[in-house]
Structure 1
Amino acid sequence: MIEAAMIWNEPNNKSHWDPELDPDWALYAAMAIEAADAIAAESPNVTRVLGGISPIDPVFMENMKGRGVLDRVEAVAVHGFPLDWNLWKVDEWPAKLAEIEAVTPLPVWVSEVGISTFGADEVQVWGLKRTAELLVGRAPRIQWYSLYDLPMEWGATTRHKEAEGSSYYRHFHMGLLRADGTPKPALTEFAKWTPAVGLVQWFHFEDPRLDDAVSWMKRLGVTYVRTGLSWADSFRPNADAWFDRMMLALDDFDVTVTFCFTPEHRGLAPHHTSPPAVSGEFAAFCARMMRRYGGDARSLSAA
């Protein structure tokens, strides 16, 4: 059911990992190694991927290499949003990939790339086309973020929220579909690039969009999808039932799961960006999820 397992999301981004608690990423590196080993022990055929980095930073990748993390994974990943958040142009995508390829021989996946309609729908149409022209055939994985706009009432998973100004509000306009499910103009352009380009869709706990999302992805010709299994959500009542439902719904796709988000009561600080307070607990969560979903979906009862 799981084709690839990604260890955290944007570990070099302070919206997802607290640099004040782990300024040199030593704690992240140790956690990532434990998680990679746990994933390999449970599902040796599943590709292990370093959490997609944002910004694209070869110095951070050198750090992970020096700490031995890259010896435990089979691919690395980058995230890029040059028309919304990054301080570089969309045409620089090949150069950005080359920066990481100069550090490691591992495949470099583009596990998130997207363009918002914050300014205009037409910007997303043009940007999607240009991004696909630059990346298809250049990167082994390209996953567009995202299928749906994020409903404003849900809030984005980031540290500073409204204090970020337009940088925060752009989170809500990244979809090919509006929050109400109606298509944007870029949806037609996206369909021209499948199956070479896949999708990223984060599903909130008991997300009502799940079945509609699966239907849309099949209609669009999508064959591979990236989503998340949240360690924090695993402590909610009926968490496994929701995880089961989500993973079964995605069974027809090649799925990359991203393991991430520290439960407030299990971190050094009470926040999803915190390193775990107890070494090994995140790896144990990854191992349990791989036992449950690393093989045939019909084996869930044996988890």
Structure 2
Amino acid sequence: MEFRQVQYFICLFEEGTVTRAAHRLNIVQPALSMQIAKLEDEVGQQLFERTKQGMVPTAAARQMYRLFLPIMRDFTHARTQLMSTDGEISGHVNIGLIASITEGVLAETLTAFSIKYPNVDVRVADGYSATLSDWVAGGQIDAAIINKPRRQLALNVEHIVDEEMVLITSAGYAAALPQRLTLRQISSLGLTLVLPTREHGLRGIIDSFAQHEDVDLAPKFEIDSLVTTVKLVEQTQLATILPHIAVHRGLTEGRLRAHSIVSPRLIRQVVAVSHPRRPLNSATSAFIAMLTEQMRMRTKTQDATEVA
């Protein structure tokens, strides 16, 4: 089994057709087909079913992809670091972020990062904390920024920031709500809530605090899309509970209003996770550092606003 064959296999697996894979590899289609055929002969199993829609991976191909993808990523990272000269960072970032981070600081981070490191390509995937952790463990992504899980992970976990979650209403909300509320008050005031579903990491944090206080928040709507949730809150008399960073823009522009939750304060811990046997390349470490700086700046701004 040659390195080139594995590289061709992974590309064909991801692209789904010989045409797209050959174009991505910058080779002719017969050369790709020949190497895949040789690889199938060597492993003694069919890796793809040839259909009119493209190359459909078999169970053997899916297993091979899971096994070889982390190895290929390690090779790419090692080559990138060896080829770096004069301390200049280049290469690729392949990272996962929970939605509240992508909504809060991703655009600003990407803008600053591309200016400082023009030779780095960045790929960002979003998803639930549990899903992103699984992708890191399986080698699909190199690192992820997630809500700290309650269960122990077989991954490196680095603390990023502690952030308060707040009650959010529209700026024109008719009811006169106090600036500070307890979780029990939120339940007793009869607010119509929209919260993430129970599969969402933020909902798990909210529910854990509510259960500790023996409070039933009973949302009317359960929606995982933060964009949709924020739009609903802006345009209606609904309220939600979200991290400050996820609604920073709406608060700054005066479209939303934040009410602090006290007794207890709802704190979520944001962490970076990576695989213990796959060290991060310089580009990914630099991107996480810049993202962390952006998040901590937002948190300091929030704290200063509350004090004022």
Q: TM-score of the superposition, structure 1-length normalised?
A: 0.24
Q: TM-score of the superposition, structure 2-length normalised?
A: 0.24
Q: Which has the larger radius of gyration?
A: 2
